[in-house]
Amino acid sequence: MLDNTARATLPSMKIFMTGATGFIGGVTARHLAEQGHQLTCLVRDRSKAADLEALGCTLVDGDLSSRPRLAEQMTGHDALLHNAALYEVGIPKERIPVLRKANVEGTANVLEAALESDIPRVLYVSTCAVFGNTHRELATEDFRRPDLDSPKGLDFTSVYEETKYEAHQIALNLIKNRNLPCVIAQPAGVYGPKDHSELGATVNQFLDGKLPMVPFPEFGTGLTYVDDVAAGLALILDKGEVGQCYILNEDNFTMRQVLETAGGLVDRKVPKRAMPTPVLKALRPIGPLVGKIMDQPPNLAELIKSTDGVTFWADGSKAKNELGWHPRDLKSGLRQTLEIEGRTPAAG
């Protein structure tokens, strides 16, 4: 149960949900089920949906490719929660069409299907990555990307950022031009048990004593514990105003600050030396091999572009002030993560 943030008060609803077998989606499904909602979850692989079945969710087979089928499956529900997306940074070229199909085409299909099936309320889960590199500025919901005014056009740090930006624009256009009854959530970085992100991999390397130097120590990201993101999504579904965006971000940190916070919990010192970025850049031609050795993605060029001197910083005040969202701090969230994963935090 989540008890550290205001709870949504919406009456029991029939919610059609995508992405419920994922990292954020699984925790969100549990949270909504515990609140008494009836969830219908779209799943591609039932072998990954045992936890959803245990929660009493109704499972329907399918994916994001067929708009007519999605509309048929959604019909009769009170709300749609579209959370499905692929989060991958540092991808090889052959993965680009896969991300585009899931994040852009999939979002268009789901939201168009919601219009066809007359679902009265839609929550689309976007991301703070759509703001791009904020250059140490705190982005609010109306943040304007600096590169929007660039004669060179938009300069995305990754294919993930690019596809989620396009999907975000699809949602905004459907709200404006076709009256889609949609509210948009924008989580920043998310961490917690079973986090398989690049940041999570770096933290685990450090905790395992396998990080002799800190990679990209000034890389900046917002971070929120996964259970608090789930609670925030429930609040937005309940209280969010149609047409509005709500950032879900507890606070912002550099890579070194994250490692120092984790190290303080296990009495481990963070390496003083930073991993030389020029060395990593020189290794880009053999990225797949280096990635395997360092437990990092194969496309070093994209990984470097999305981290070296980059900040994805955002201000979550709107959700906190207007919706009563109160996420736990990083130290508390990391402590809970360590305990659940079987690591013993230091006393104090």
Q: Which pLDDT tens digit goes with each residue over 60-99? A: 999 999 999 999 999 999 999 999 999 999 888 999 999 9
Determine, yes or no, domain membership for 297: no
Q: What letter would DSSP give residue 128?
A: G
Determine, yes or no, domain membership for 218: no
The distance from CA 306 to its chain's CA centroid, rounded to whole angstroms, is 15
pLDDT band at 289 (very low <50, low <70, confident <90, very high): very low
Residues 6 or more apart in contact with residue 194 via CB below 8 angstroms: 23
The answer to which of 1-5, 218-222, 223-227 has the lowest mean pLDDT is 1-5
Q: What is the Cα–Cα distance from 261 to 251, expressed in whole angstroms?
A: 13
What's the whole-model pTM score? 0.92
What tokens were used for 249? 């971000």
Residues 6 or more apart in contact with residue 47 via CB below 8 angstroms: none
Segment 35-44 shows an average pLDDT of: 96
Residues 6 or more apart in contact with residue 223 via CB below 8 angstroms: 188, 189, 190, 191, 249, 250, 251, 252, 253, 258, 330, 333
Cα three-residue angle 293-346-341, rounded to 5 degrees: 50
Determine, yes or no, domain membership for 105: yes
342 contacts 20 by C-beta, under 8 angstroms? no
Q: Which domain holds residue 87?
A: 14-195+223-253+312-330
Token look-up 């919990």 returns 265
pLDDT band at 345 (very low <50, low <70, confident <90, very high): confident
What pLDDT, on a 0 to 100 scale, did the predictor assign at position 238? 94
- Whichever domain contains 130, its CATH number is 3.40.50.720
- E-only strand ranges, the chain: 14-18, 38-43, 58-61, 79-82, 122-125, 182-187, 189-191, 220-225, 245-248, 251-254, 311-312
**Which of 284 and 104 is assigned the larger pLDDT?**
104
Determine, yes or no, domain membership for 271: no
In sequence order, what are the beta bridge partners of 254?
220
What pLDDT, on a 0 to 100 scale, did the predictor assign at position 146? 87
206 contacts 263 by C-beta, under 8 angstroms? yes
What pLDDT, on a 0 to 100 scale, did the predictor assign at position 348? 57
Segment 278-299 shows an average pLDDT of: 52
Determine, yes or no, domain membership for 249: yes
What pLDDT, on a 0 to 100 scale, did the predictor assign at position 300? 77
Provide the number of structural domains found in the chain.
1
pLDDT cut 90: percent of the chain above it: 78
Distances in Å between the Cα of 32 and the Cα atoms of 17, 160, 223 are: 11, 27, 22
Segment 101-127 shows an average pLDDT of: 98
DSSP β-ladder status, 220-225 and 251-254: antiparallel
What tokens were used for 11? 């009456």
Q: If you average pLDDT over every residue of the chain, what do you get?
A: 91
Query: Phi and psi (nearest 5°) for 244?
Result: -100, 155
pLDDT band at 290 (very low <50, low <70, confident <90, very high): very low
Whether residue 344 is predicted with pLDDT greater than 60 in this model: the reply is: yes
178-205 residue pLDDT tens: 999 999 999 999 999 989 888 888 999 9
Segment 284-313 shows an average pLDDT of: 69
Q: What is the Cα–Cα distance from 53 to 74, expressed in whole angstroms?
A: 19
Determine, yes or no, domain membership for 338: no
What tokens were used for 298? 């194969």
The answer to which of 82-86, 173-177, 263-267, 296-300 has the lowest mean pLDDT is 296-300
What pLDDT, on a 0 to 100 scale, did the predictor assign at position 182? 98
Half-sphere exposure of 80 (CA within 13 A, CB side): 32
Determine, yes or no, domain membership for 236: yes
**Which of 140 and 347 is assigned the larger pLDDT?**
140
Q: What letter would DSSP give residue 197?
A: S
Determine, yes or no, domain membership for 184: yes
pLDDT cut 70: percent of the chain above it: 90
What pLDDT, on a 0 to 100 scale, did the predictor assign at position 293? 43
